[in-house]
Amino acid sequence: MDQTPDQPAQPDPPRPAIYKDLPLLQLTALTFVLDQFTKFLVRELLELRESFPAEGFFRFTHTFNTGSAFGLFQDQNFALILASIAGITVLTLIYQSQRRPTNLLRLSLGLQLGGAAGNLLDRLRMGHVTDFVDVGPWPIFNLADASIVVGLILLVWIFISPGQAREQAEPQAETTPGNGETPALAHTDAEVCESREESTPASPESPDPQPQDASPASEDQELPRRSDTPQAGE
């Protein structure tokens, strides 16, 4: 079967721009607004170190944190500002690296971007982050911290999931410029045509020669043989 000449490689589709992804931007803005609104309510309604209720496993306790999550890197405000900017940049690059961002990826990045922006604004305005969610012995945190942690868990799940790896490895179908078929479809049609040609019977216009009914040698065998022995009376 004749080999089909190689088609020129199709250019890769343009990468999506994050500023054009409306669902991702809406989720980021919603996370950011909820974080800032809850911090504002805590600062207005609770005095510093005050808790509501006064006792219990789950409380709202007004406090602040000059470090990162879990009280690490205390009084390192400038370094943490740079780390927040670097984190936002990395998340943006992760989005740009995807050909077709999924809704789960949008959810993960939206939570992390909104949380990182909320804590970054606190550090720029006040030099510290307002915390208020007090759960048992766990360190006090805020909605931005919770959003970042949940988004990070989702991001890890996306990249270690077998379905995600299969989707990344699956090549996209490219259209052939000549007839508008994909290479896979064209190859399938060629195989079907070849199998039909092999299964087609011979044409009735060229019948096979029929064998002769009798050969001359068979006729001679049917004649009585002449005897060379002289008969009596000759």
State the catalytic residues.
131, 145
CA 61 – CA 46 distance, rounded (Å): 8
Distances (CA, A) of 33 to 36, 122, 175: 5, 13, 45
Of residues 45, 25, 44, 46, the one with CA closest to residue 117: 25
Of residues 131, 161, 168, the one with CA closest to residue 51: 131
Distances (CA, A) of 181 to 8, 166, 171, 187: 15, 24, 16, 10
Task: Let me know the angle formed at the C-alpha of 67 by 61 and 71, rounded to the nearest 5 degrees.
Answer: 60
**3-class SS at 130?**
strand
CA 12 – CA 15 distance, rounded (Å): 9
Name the residue with tokens 């079967």.
1
